[in-house]
Structure 1
Amino acid sequence: MTDRTCPYDPPAGLLDLQRQAPLVKVQLPTGPAWLVTSYDAARTLLDDPRMSSDMGREGFPTLYRQKMRPVLKGSFMRMDGEEHAFYRTMLAGEFSVKRVAAMRPEIEQACDQLLDDMIRQGPPANLHDSYGIPVSSSSICRLLGVPYEDAEFFTTHLEALFDPHRAGAPERIAKSKAALSAYLDELVTRKQKEPGDDMISRLVADYLVPGKVDRPELLLTSYLLLAAGHETTANMITTGTAALLMHPEQFALVRDDPKLLRGAVEELLRYLSIFQFGITRIATEDIRVGDQTVAAGEGIVVSPLLGNRDESVYDDPHTLDVRRRGRPHLSFGHGPHLCVGHTLARIELQIAFERLLTRLPDLRLAVPEPDIPFRTETLVFGTVDLPVTWGERTERTPA
Structure 2
Amino acid sequence: MADQLPTYPITDRTCPYDPPAGLLALQEQAPLVRVQLPTGPAWLVTRYDAARALLDDPRMSSDMGREGFPTLYRQKMRPVLKGSFMRMDGDQHAFYRTMLAGEFSVKRVQAMRPEIEQACDQLLDEMIRQGPPANLHQAYGVPVSSRSICQLLGVPYEDADFFTTHLEALFDPHRAGAPERIAESKAALSGYLDELVSRKEKEPGDDMISRLVADYLIPGKVDRPELLLTSYLLLAAGHETTASMITTGTAALLMHPGQLAALREEPHLLRGAVEELLRYLSIFQFGITRVATEDVRVGDQTVAAGEGIIVSPLLGNRDQDVYDDPHTLDVRRRGRPHLSFGHGPHLCVGHTLARIELQTAFERLLTRLPDLRLAVPESEVPFRTETLVFGTIDLPVAWGEQPAKTPA
Whether these two folds match at TM > 0.5 is: yes
Alignment of 1:1-399 (within 5 A): 1-64=10-73, 75-159=84-168, 161-162=170-171, 173-391=182-400
Q: Please give the secondary structure, in 2, of the residue aligned with 1:44.
A: helix
1:163 is displaced (CA, Å) by 6.1
For residues 130-154 of structure 1, give each alpha carbon's deviation from its aligned partner in whole angstroms, at most 9, with x where no partner exists: 0001111111110111234333433
Q: Which amino acid aligns with 2:164?
A: T
Q: Please give the secondary structure, in 1, of the residue aligned with 2:13.
A: coil
Q: Please give the secondary structure, in 2, of the residue aligned with 1:265.
A: helix
Q: Please give the secondary structure, in 2, of the residue aligned with 1:26.
A: strand
Distance 1:371 1:165, change over 3 A: farther
Moved more, 330-339 or 147-156: 147-156
Q: How far apart are the structure 1 equivalents of 2:172 and 2:130?
A: 26
Distance 1:242 1:176, change over 3 A: same
Q: Please give the secondary structure, in 1, of the residue aligned with 2:44.
A: strand
Q: Please give the secondary structure, in 2, of the residue aligned with 1:7.
A: coil
User: Is this contact kept in 1: 2:85–2:230, CA < 8 A?
Assistant: yes
Moved more, 315-324 or 148-157: 148-157
User: Is this contact kept in 1: 2:75–2:179, CA < 8 A?
Assistant: no
For residues 67-125 of structure 1, give each alpha carbon's deviation from its aligned partner in whole angstroms, at most 9, with x where no partner exists: 69799886011110011101101111110001101111110011000000000000000
Q: How far apart are the structure 2 equivalents of 1:297 and 1:38?
A: 21
Q: Which amino acid aligns with 1:230?
A: H
Q: Which residue of 1 aligns with 2:4?
A: none
Q: Please give the secondary structure, in 1, of the residue aligned with 2:129.
A: helix
Structure-1-length-normalised TM-score: 0.94
User: Is this contact kept in 1: 2:171–2:388, CA < 8 A?
Assistant: no
Q: Please give the secondary structure, in 2, of the residue aligned with 1:383.
A: coil
User: Is this contact kept in 1: 2:285–2:388, CA < 8 A?
Assistant: yes
Q: How far apart are the structure 1 equivalents of 2:79 and 2:130?
A: 50
Structure-2-length-normalised TM-score: 0.92
Q: Which amino acid aligns with 2:64?
A: M
Q: How far apart are the structure 2 equivalents of 1:338 and 1:166?
A: 28
1:251 is displaced (CA, Å) by 1.0
For residues 263-300 of structure 1, give each alpha carbon's deviation from its aligned partner in whole angstroms, at most 9, with x where no partner exists: 00000000000011011100111111101111111111
1:176 is displaced (CA, Å) by 3.4
Q: How far apart are the structure 1 equivalents of 2:375 and 2:185?
A: 32
For residues 51-79 of structure 1, give each alpha carbon's deviation from its aligned partner in whole angstroms, at most 9, with x where no partner exists: 00010011111112566979988601111
Distance 1:256 1:20, change over 3 A: same
**Residue segments in structure 2 that go unaligned for 5+ positions in a row:** 1-9, 403-408
Distance 1:116 1:159, change over 3 A: farther
Q: Which amino acid aligns with 2:295?
A: D
Q: Please give the secondary structure, in 1, of the residue aligned with 2:225.
A: helix
Distance 1:173 1:23, change over 3 A: closer
Q: Please give the secondary structure, in 1, of the residue aligned with 2:42.
A: strand
Distance 1:167 1:134, change over 3 A: farther
Q: How far apart are the structure 1 equivalents of 2:121 and 2:201?
A: 33
User: Is this contact kept in 1: 2:71–2:289, CA < 8 A?
Assistant: yes
Residues matched between the structures, number: 393
User: Is this contact kept in 2: 1:55–1:69, CA < 8 A?
Assistant: no
User: Is this contact kept in 2: 1:39–1:306, CA < 8 A?
Assistant: yes
Q: How far apart are the structure 1 equivalents of 2:294 and 2:174?
A: 40
Q: Which amino acid aligns with 1:128?
A: H
Q: Which amino acid aligns with 1:11?
A: P
Q: Please give the secondary structure, in 1, of the residue aligned with 2:147.
A: helix
User: Is this contact kept in 2: 1:74–1:221, CA < 8 A?
Assistant: no
Distance 1:155 1:68, change over 3 A: closer
1:29 is displaced (CA, Å) by 1.4
User: Is this contact kept in 2: 1:56–1:70, CA < 8 A?
Assistant: no
User: Is this contact kept in 1: 2:172–2:387, CA < 8 A?
Assistant: no
Distance 1:95 1:116, change over 3 A: same
**Residue segments in structure 1 that go unaligned for 5+ positions in a row:** 394-399
User: Is this contact kept in 1: 2:286–2:388, CA < 8 A?
Assistant: yes
Q: Which amino acid aligns with 1:193?
A: K
